[in-house]
Copies of this chain bind each other. A is one copy, B any other.
Amino acid sequence: MARNQLRRAVIVAVGSELLTPDRLDTNSLYLTQRLNELGVHVRGKLVVGDDRADIAAALLAALPQADIVIVTGGLGPTDDDVTREAVAAAFAMPLEEDAEIVDAIRSRFAARGLSMPEINRRQALVPGGAVVLPNPNGTAPGLWIERPDVVCVVLPGPPREVHGMFDTVVRGRLAPAAGRQGIFRRVLRVTGRTESYVDETASPVYSRWRSAAVPIETSVLASLGQIELHLAARAETAEAAARALDAATDELATVLGRDLVSSDGAALEAVVGRLLCARGRRVALAESCTGGLIASRLTDVPGSSAYVHAGWVAYDNAAKTSHLGVDRQLIDVHGAVSEPVARALALGCRKLAATDYGLGVTGIAGPGGGSPEKPVGTVYVALAGPDERVRVRQLRLPGDRKRVKFQASQAALDLLRRALIRK
């Protein structure tokens, strides 16, 4: 392509369902990542309904803002799919039926033993002069329209089709004229620390990288039960970016120490799983207020049957005493939500399951059950380990029931993670 560099993109998502309270356009997240890797910055995003005039108006507003406009959605076969018509109108191109596309759609149906419904002919309409982009995952082909100042790419709406077409067709066409420097990302996860602590600790490192030969921009984001560092390196190749990101990650790992959970985006439960595997250790769980969430998170990880032996959800006091051997007196004296009971739960499940580790959790997830001494959000997590020692942490967690459960599960898994890396 003989043209200026493509640097700035605008993404236009078409679909009336994207203007209801129930649906968000998520294709733009995937497109943004891929465009960033090509050195293309996303300057703006638009969402419009299935309306010819609105789509055309959005296009006309987007074109002067960008070198690339990517439109997704509205290429289906039904009457309310009008993106083809709107694009043709915006670029003042006539719509013509493409015989090859009709044949291709007919063959797709034939392959499934079906004959093509007449209505699908609409998907073969092409603005005269547009390049047709094949769609390996669906009947609607995409369009590529080139103008001196801008490229407009039109893709279908289903995410599988967007991903497939971008990766197989669009990326290759954009790459020769795309920005020389791509943006490549990495996510570091940290637990057990506040956002401001993480920022203070990491900023001497990441501020230096901001002006390095391969510059890296870092943002610190708090999400539930963890802090994330998002690194974005700007480099000419994926390899150069990876080298810089590796070096920056190493420096950040040094200052963050054991608070760093992962630098490849892995979730805490996956990291704990890897550590248990590597050490040949197994774990059992005795959960009260988390209600099975810790076991469920651990078993979300493929291969977890190697190290998760068994779990107990001891939701009422009788379950704690009769299934896990918690002394009834402990509960009577200290209450079910107490350090001694957490300790007994951890020891109880470890013994019953004959595992290396036992995790016990008891707390008040709310909204009911709180008291002035033990308000909603009071949680005790305990870890019984192979050295017979029990570690206990008391927590005061904010938020509603689900947030308390998740944060308690984070704290319990983190306690286990720290014990495993201490070895």
Contacts and interface: CB of A to CB of B under 8 A. Distances in A.
B291 A296 contact: yes
Contacts of A26: 24
Given A44-B47, A294-B292, A310 B302 contact: no
A268 to B, nearest CB: 15
B291 A295 contact: yes
Contact of A19 (B19, B21, B43, B368): B43
- Chain A interface residue number, banded: 35 or more
Contact of A310 (B232, B290, B314, B352): B314
B21 A353 contact: no
The interface residues of chain A, by DSSP majority, are classed as: mixed
Contact of A44 (B49, B294, B302, B313): B49
B312 A313 contact: yes
Contact of A32 (B19, B302, B318, B367): B19
Contacts of A313: 285, 292, 295, 299, 308, 310-313
Contacts of A65: 54, 57
Interface in A33-70: 33, 36, 41-49, 54, 57-58, 61, 65
A121 interface: no
B291 A299 contact: yes
A302 to B, nearest CB: 5
Interface string A276-304: 00000000010101111111101110111
Contacts of A30: 21
Interface string A324-366: 0000000000000000000000000000110000000000011
Interface of A: 17-22, 24-26, 29-30, 32-33, 36, 41-49, 54, 57-58, 61, 65, 185, 219, 221, 230, 232, 285, 287, 289-296, 298-300, 302-305, 308-316, 318-319, 323, 352-353, 365-368, 401-402, 405
